[in-house]
Amino acid sequence: MCSAVAATLPLPDGIYPYSVVEQDLSAALKEYGHNLNINIEISPKVEGKLRGRLPSLSAKAFLDTICQSYALDWYYDGYTLHISTADERTTQFISLRTFSVTDLTQALVKLDFYDERYTVRAGPNAKTVIASGPPRYVSLIEQTVLALPHPERLRLTQHDNVPQTVIYRGGSVAVVKFGGSLAASEPKK
């Protein structure tokens, strides 16, 4: 399992002190997010009970162990830790419209959405991509395609370290830099 993730999940070093007697899996994961001050969204399909003693683990190892033990996926988009079941993984063919697979991959990397654990590969023709992974990951890929109808208009550069966010509102998509300037705004087509 590759440990590279999209955005860096802000987890502390050292042991994650958590004891389990018998606890609902979703409740334990919500408490994990609360204890580490991380927004967390858990699929309603996540079910099960944690029982018995867990070994002393780091926060990352705790998350990975729980997810592996209960066939769960996790994806951190830079704002929220999304946890879903492996059964919810999806594969989508996505039309790239006016740009290439390389353009899409570069945009995903620059936006800190790209996650090496999940698949983004060329589709059957040059204007499609096949994306596979947890629902939130595939959704962000689809939203990125919509936000980037003309990659040259979205001024993302390696030297641009200004924090920014993508806002989806009605029929438009905008990238807003936290300095208050609008980087790009394109209506959905």
Is pLDDT above 50 for 120? yes
Averaged pLDDT, 124-148: 91
CA angle 123, 120, 61 (to 5 degrees): 155
Instruction: Tell me the CATH number of domain 89-160, given options 3.40.50.300, 3.30.950.10, 3.30.1370.120, 3.40.228.10.
Output: 3.30.1370.120
* Whole-angstrom distance, CA of residue 43 vs CA of residue 26: 9
Cβ neighbors of 158 (< 8 A, separation 6 or more) are 110
Which residues are registered as beta bridge partners of 176? 165, 182
* Whole-angstrom distance, CA of residue 23 vs CA of residue 32: 12
Is pLDDT above 50 for 154? no
CB 54 within 8 A of CB 65: yes
Domain boundaries, the chain: 22-85, 89-160
Cβ neighbors of 58 (< 8 A, separation 6 or more) are 11, 13, 14, 15, 16
* Whole-angstrom distance, CA of residue 88 vs CA of residue 133: 8
Phi, psi of 77 (to 5 degrees): -95, 10
Averaged pLDDT, 151-167: 54
**Count of C-beta atoms within a 10 Å radius of residue 160:** 11
- HSE, side-chain direction, 13 A CA sphere, residue 169: 8
Q: What's the pLDDT tens digit per position in 27-38?
A: 999 999 999 999
Averaged pLDDT, 59-87: 94
Which residues are registered as beta bridge partners of 128? 95
Is pLDDT above 90 for 176? no
Q: What's the pLDDT tens digit per position in 94-108?
A: 998 778 888 888 889
* The model's pTM: 0.71
Is pLDDT above 50 for 157? no
Averaged pLDDT, 116-121: 91
What pLDDT score was predicted for residue 98? 78
What pLDDT score was predicted for residue 2? 38
Helix (H, G, I), strand (E, B) or coil at 94: strand
Strands 39-42 and 80-85: parallel
- HSE, side-chain direction, 13 A CA sphere, residue 29: 27
**Count of C-beta atoms within a 10 Å radius of residue 69:** 12
Instruction: Tell me the CATH number of domain 22-85, given options 3.30.429.10, 3.30.300.100, 3.55.50.30, 3.30.1330.10.
Output: 3.55.50.30
Is pLDDT above 60 for 54? yes
